[in-house]
Amino acid sequence: EPEVTQTPSHQVTQMGQEVILRCVPISNHLYFYWYRQILGQKVEFLVSFYNNEISEKSEIFDDQFSVERPDGSNFTLKIRSTKLEDSAMYFCASNGGIGTDTQYFGPGTRLTVL
């Protein structure tokens, strides 16, 4: 069964450093998303991406964040200058498109900012 994959599973970084979180969405999907979950809290939407551009973003997704689809399979989330409060699980999700609303989530990357 196809699934969303994410790397790395755990990323530790120093405050102020840049990190790139990587995702490989399900291959025939058209819409891609990033969500985050601070430890013990609810899952929060960050950004959605379609047709090589951001289609929607939340207030959390400020200028420190960016997304990119550098090739036909990868989808990345970059945080330019990490802050302590960026520590969270980051989930990538994808869905097929119009008429197929189900978003399938990857296993997540745990980001720890020291």
Partner 1 sequence: GESVGLHLPTLSVQEGDNSIINCAYSNSASDYFIWYKQESGKGPQFIIDIRSNMDKRQGQRVTVLLNKTVKHLSLQIAATQPGDSAVYFCAENKRDTGRRALTFGSGTRLQVQP
Terminal Cα distance for the chain, rounded:
37
| Residues of this chain, 60-89, that bind partner 1 according to CB under 8 A | none
Angle (nearest 5°) at CA 56 between 53 and 62: 95
Rounded least distance, CB 37 to partner 1, Å: 9
| Among positions 21, 31, 87, 113, the unique one binding partner 1 when judged by CB under 8 A | 31
Per the CB < 8 A criterion, the answer to whether 29 and 94 are in contact is yes
Assess 95 for contact with partner 1 (CB under 8 A): yes
Segment interacting with partner 1 (CB under 8 A) among 13-21, 64-72, 78-86, 96-104: 96-104
Order of strands, edge to edge, in the sheet holding 65-68? Answer: 5-7, 19-24, 75-79, 65-68
- For residue 14, the minimal CB distance to partner 1 (Å) is 23
Torsion angles phi and psi, residue 14, rounded to 5 = -90, 145
Stretch that binds partner 1, among 12-20, 31-39, 64-72, 77-85 (CB under 8 A): 31-39
